[in-house]
Structure 1
Amino acid sequence: MDARHTGLSPAVEPGSARPTRAELAAAADRTIPDVLAPGMAVLFVGINPGLWSAATGWHFARPGNRFWPALHTGGFTPRLLHPSEQDQLPALGLGITNMAARASARADELTAAELLDGAAILTDKVTRYRPRWVAVVGVTAYRIGFQRPKATFGPQPESLAGARLWVLPNPSGLNAHFTPVTLGAAFAELREATGLPDRRRPDPPSR
């Protein structure tokens, strides 16, 4: 599948050591490439890149972020992927973008105007790439960006440019309301709704 990537080059090359404090500071306000392909089954939408992501060019890259474990626990990937392996997602019918493009240390540094603009840009991306499902990873960002103040987790009654909408919990390690187990269950609920198979590899038989 032909994936399209947009954005600026990362400050830290893939495979290099973890970002230094100076590299993280320099990553503020940067943008990173989307992971997109036509006809995705699910397009995951983060709130905005963190500094680790902006420094590396990898989505949900900060150690302690639970997106990649939840993606696997939910059955979307055959094994736990490292953020540097994000380019494998389009072959699985998956993609990643963000509500707001600029990186920040915390999501609450974003303004409501940025999230509103981001929702409009996201709508254009969905119109162009035609995913079947759009999963926004963070209910507060969804409420603000789409002006749905009473939205809750799970399927949404409205659609987005023909795609079904779903709201997932924020996988940040700072979100203490969800454990790794309950977060994985939330991702599994979405996968089941999409009709995608459980791709987790079974454990080898014990001897």
Structure 2
Amino acid sequence: MSFRYLTVPVTAFQQNCSIVWCDATNDAALIDPGGEISRLLAEVKRLGLTLKALWLTHAHIDHAGGTGELARTLDLPIIGPHPGDQFWIAGLPQQSAMFGFPPAETFTPTRWLEDGDTVQIGHETLTVRHCPGHTPGHVVFHSASAQRCFVGDVLFAGSIGRTDFPGGDHATLIRSITERLWPMGDDTVFIPGHGPESSFGEERRTNPFVGGRWG
């Protein structure tokens, strides 16, 4: 297996930006480059990787704030999220002002993602699942071979994503977790948008919001 990743918390929100790469080619992508661009690029350089793409789970400021600048300065494609998050992308400048972030650029994704799509980095292919509820256009990236899933703000260790932002919906989020995430298997480790990793099996057993819900 040549799939590797490193998670780097960025911004005041300690958002987990993940550097994912193929060990065979050293081609890499950034999942949710929310900010601290120079730090992220320094990590990519330290690892000896070639950055090829930016992948977005959703377009909240702490996940997407650095995307426009990175894509523009390094001529990188922006992959994702789902079109349901278009209004969040359009509102990035307002989001940055509201939450005290550096000014964020709007952008148009090179490729919008739909449920069942795939994304590739080097020889590694990940499956995209559309998991709305936290935002309408939220997606996750699943590597079946590595048993890893990058879930953004859908699910956390011991918690679930907020649904009180515009476009959020609690019942939809619960369905996304039970119908889209749980079938990936109990042994699948997930990398959330904030906080530590966990496994789907652990959350099915112990998470107070979705524990015991089997889809």
> What is the TM-score when the length of structure 1 is the normalising length?
0.31
- Identify the structure with the greater helix proportion: 1
Q: Which has the higher contact order (CA 8 A, sep 6+)?
A: 1
> What is the TM-score when the length of structure 2 is the normalising length?
0.31
